[in-house]
Amino acid sequence: MNSKILLLAESIRKFLRRNMVANLKNLINKAHPSDIASAIEILKPINRDKFFKFMIENNIKKASEVLVELEEHLIQSILNLFDAETIASILRLLSTDDAVAILDYIEDEEKKEKIIQLLEDNEKFEEQLLYQDETAGRIMTTDFFYLNHNLTVKEAIEQLHKLEDKAEMVFYLYLVDDNNRLTGVMSLRQLLLSNPNAKLKDVMQKDIISVRVDTDQEEVAKLVSQYDLLAIPVVDHDGKLVGIITVDDVIDIIKEEAAEDIYRLAGTSEEEILYKGHPFKIARIRLPWLLPAFAGTFVVASLLDLISVKFSYFAIFVVFMPMINAAAGNIGIQSSTIMARELAINEMEGSIWKDVFSTQFKVGIIIGLLYATIAFAFAYILAKPVNLPKVLISTSVGIAMFIAIIISSVYGSFLPIFLKKIGVDPAVATGPFVAASNDILGTIIYFAVAYNIVRLFA
């Protein structure tokens, strides 16, 4: 948290405590909505609620701008403070995409319906809420500028002069036919440099990059990123232009998807933030993903119990087992995390599999040789030569480390691919599977190597 935000939060606390109304109004007017939102997030709930109520009463426009910048759990908390009429007053000041996003945070369906009825063009909001979550139709804004392609350039410029502030244009002019079907797009620069008497349909760009209302938001983000767009048009199943998605919304999507992937890889979810101060609810979220890894420890314990009976030198070698498992586990998690993220961003073609195997095998060899050398030296120093030469013990540890690293590197990369092939989300399942299976594999490899070296050379 930077000093600017801390100072802003402290100022809000001081002004509230001393009831310095004029200072609070001045602060609200001058501070950027994003900075105010960051400051609110570090205020105590009582100050946060008091300050937001003050904003609603004195500068509802700024309050609406701040609201959309807040984290989900804070938006829900603040919305619970106000009645339907007040929330509707806030939403009227927002673009449709932001208003729909705020409506999604209201869990009380009766209250949500009442708010929608209080809004102008409530049919538009009801229709947009019918689209599935995380689709283009749900996140698009319907406050945008478009023109009929039969107009001339001069007429288009005249229409631009009448443009409402609320419409999101983002430097693109979208063109439609008489049936409202998207036919072209042009930049403002292109418009201003064109012949004033030329028809828009003669100078527009007809090769349009657009998405349908049911396109997943992640695919939308990929297209905007791939083609360096500032906005992307959204069409319905008949090709009619119904909205646009702007780059600021795409940035939010990217942040949301990245956060979701991180939570999944950690074996939890974003819901955990909503349950701050509720340890039992947080535990309930984490347990399903911790249990597979915990179950793996029972398998390892059973293997150790079996090996201890069959392998007379078990006590000498078991000391070095955690080192093998930890190293193999780390390389496995690294490989699986990178591959899970790659699968989330790009589709894996069949020809890439060979390259993946080759690369990870080579990486495993390089890291394996380094780790094996260190493990050999460490085991040679630490090993107690009871009935076995130190060099035999340390050689077993070194070879086992080398093999375990290579297998974990390759296995960690292919596990996400396998999970995706069978229809399981790699981001969700990879972490627990890698944690459980690497310990099992490491134990089997280590004692298999140790047993065979002892049998051959002891």
Close Cβ partners of 120 (under 8 Å, ≥ 6 residues apart): 92
- CA distances to 154, 157, 175, 275, 377 from 195, rounded to whole Å, are 8, 12, 17, 60, 79
Residue 28: pLDDT band with limits 50, 70, 90? very high
Least confident of 28-37, 52-61, 289-298: 289-298
- CA distances to 73, 85, 123, 358 from 113, rounded to whole Å, are 21, 12, 11, 57
Kindly tell me if the per-residue pLDDT of 351 is higher than 60: no
Residue 344: pLDDT band with limits 50, 70, 90? low
Kindly tell me if the per-residue pLDDT of 105 is higher than 90: no
pLDDT of residue 123: 76
* pLDDT tens per residue, range 175-207: 999 999 999 999 888 998 999 999 999 999 999
More confident of the two residues 209 and 337: 209
Least confident of 57-66, 315-324, 364-373: 315-324
What size, in residues, is the chain?
458
Percentage of the chain modeled with pLDDT above 90: 42
Average pLDDT, the chain: 85
Question: Which domains, and CATH codes, for the chain?
Answer: 3-131 (1.25.60.10), 146-246 (3.10.580.10), 274-457 (1.10.357.20)
pLDDT of residue 85: 93
pLDDT of residue 201: 93
pLDDT of residue 349: 55
pLDDT of residue 383: 82
Average of pLDDT values for 70-91?
90
pLDDT of residue 346: 61
Task: Using alpha carbons, select from 117, 69, 124 the residue that is nearest to residue 96.
Answer: 124
pLDDT of residue 21: 92
The answer to whether 327 touches 405, Cβ cutoff 8 Å, is yes
Residue 313: pLDDT band with limits 50, 70, 90? confident
pLDDT of residue 4: 87
* pTM, two decimal places: 0.65
pLDDT of residue 212: 95
pLDDT of residue 233: 94
pLDDT of residue 415: 81
Dihedral sign (CA 245, 250, 251, 256): positive
Residue 280: pLDDT band with limits 50, 70, 90? confident
- CA distances to 194, 319, 324 from 391, rounded to whole Å, are 82, 16, 17
**Residue-wise burial string across 92-120, b where 16 or more C-beta atoms lie within 10 A, e elsewhere:** ebbbbbbbbbbbebbeeeeebebbbeebe
More confident of the two residues 429 and 194: 194
pLDDT of residue 160: 84
pLDDT of residue 179: 93
- CA distances to 28, 34, 42, 64, 380 from 5, rounded to whole Å, are 13, 10, 9, 19, 55
pLDDT of residue 270: 56
pLDDT of residue 119: 86
* pLDDT tens per residue, range 135-176: 999 999 888 889 999 999 999 998 888 776 556 555 789 999
The answer to whether 125 touches 100, Cβ cutoff 8 Å, is yes
pLDDT of residue 434: 76
Kindly tell me if the per-residue pLDDT of 124 is higher than 80: no
pLDDT of residue 357: 76
More confident of the two residues 285 and 307: 307
Angle made by CA atoms 242, 124, 256, in degrees to the nearest 5: 70
pLDDT of residue 266: 58
pLDDT of residue 17: 93
